Amino acid sequence: MEFRQLRNFIYIVELSSITAAAERLNIAQPALSRQVKTLESELNVPLLRRHGRGVMPTEEGIRLANRAKAILDDLEDLAADISGHQAPLNGTVTLGLPPTVSEILATHLIERTMETYPEVKLRIVSGFSGHVQDWLMRGKIDLGVAYEGQKSPSIKAQPIIVEQLFLIQSAKTAGAGDGTPISTRKALQEPLILPNPEHGLRGRVESIAHDARIDLNVVLEIDILPTMLDFVGRGLGSTILPLVSVAPDISAGRLVARPMKRPTINRTLVLMTPLNHPGSRLTNSFAEFLTAEVQNMVTSGQWPGTTL
C-alpha cells in the first residue's frame, strides 16, 4: 500500500467517479482502476460499488478513505511543522445555504473569506434545507448549513445556533402593537402567509400547530421572502420568521416582530458535513472558520434573535 494509491483513492471517493478522478489526476483510467483492484486485493475487501453514474464507496471504502485522509493530512502537518511553514489554504469551497440564512450570512462570509483566505474561492448556492442535504449527499457541495430536522446516517450535523421565531405583522395592523408578546396558540390562529410545505420553516410551524391541535389558516403560500414581506406589510396576513429576516423592515417601521410565548418556537441551525466523503484540509478549516464567523455575528448583535 503506497501513499500515492491512497491519495488517488481519496480523489475517487470525493468525485464518486474513477473517470473524473483519472482526469483530475491526469492518470489513465485503466491504471487508476488497477490501483483500486490492488488495494482491494491487499485488504481482501471490496472498496467500491460500481453503478451507472460512477462509483460509491463501500463501508470499508469509507473507512479507508477517512483514515487515509487523516494520515495524509498528518504528513502535511508534519512537513509544515518541521519546515516551519504552513501552506496557505487555496482552492474552491462550495457551500449550500437556506434562503433566510443566505440573506444574512452570504455577503458577510464572502467578504471575510476574501480578507482571511485570499486564495480560497467561495461558491455559495441557495436552497431549502432538504435540497442542501441532497446536494451534500450527492457531492454537489462541500459543506451545507441547514435547519435541524433533515436527518441522514451519512451526514454529520453540528449545531451552530438556535433561532427564535417571531410572529411578523404589519405595523398598520390593528392589535399588532409595538412588538408586544403574543401566545403561540393565538399567533398560530392568525391568517398566515407561509412558504410551501417543502420549506423547513413551514414544517416546523405545522409540527407545533399539530401538537397544539390547531388548524392553521394559511391564506397565501409564498417562497420569495421580499414578496412575502410585501404582502404582510399590506396587512393581508401575518407570517412567522426569525428576527434577522425582517430587521430592515422593523427598523423602517413597516413591520413589527412579536415574540411568541407558551411555548417559544425555536429552530436549530446546523453545519452539515458528509460522512461518506473524506473532508479535505480546505473544507475542514473552512468549516471551523464558518462556525467562528457565525458565532461572532451572534455575540456582536449582527444576527439578532439567536443564541449560541
Q: What is the average per-residue pLDDT within 259-270? A: 85
pLDDT of residue 131: 82
> Do 225 and 245 form a contact (C-beta atoms < 8 A)?
yes
Domains of the chain by start residue, with CATH: 3-83 (1.10.10.10), 91-161+269-307 (3.40.190.10), 162-267 (3.40.190.290)
Pairwise CA distance, residues 224 & 210, whole Å: 25
Minimum mean pLDDT range among 175-179, 266-270, 300-304? 175-179
Tell whether the model's pLDDT for residue 225 goes beyond 70.
Answer: yes
Query: How do residues 158-207 score in pLDDT, each as one tens digit?
Result: 899 898 889 999 988 755 556 788 898 998 999 999 988 877 788 888 88
Pairwise CA distance, residues 40 & 299, whole Å: 50
Tell whether the model's pLDDT for residue 71 goes beyond 90.
Answer: no
pLDDT of residue 148: 79
Tell whether the model's pLDDT for residue 79 goes beyond 70.
Answer: no
pLDDT of residue 176: 52
pLDDT of residue 78: 67
pLDDT of residue 112: 93
Residue 101 neighbours by CB under 8 Å, 6+ apart: 145, 269
pTM recorded for the entire structure: 0.65
Tell whether the model's pLDDT for residue 129 goes beyond 60.
Answer: yes
Long-range contacts of 220-227 (CB under 8 A, 24+ apart): 220/193, 220/194, 221/193, 221/194, 221/195, 221/196, 222/193, 222/194, 222/195, 223/99, 223/195, 223/196, 223/199, 225/99, 225/100, 225/103
Q: What is the average per-residue pLDDT within 21-34? A: 88
Under the banding of pLDDT at 50, 70 and 90, the label for residue 63 is confident
The residue with cell 417543502 is 198
Residue 298 neighbours by CB under 8 Å, 6+ apart: 161, 306, 307, 308
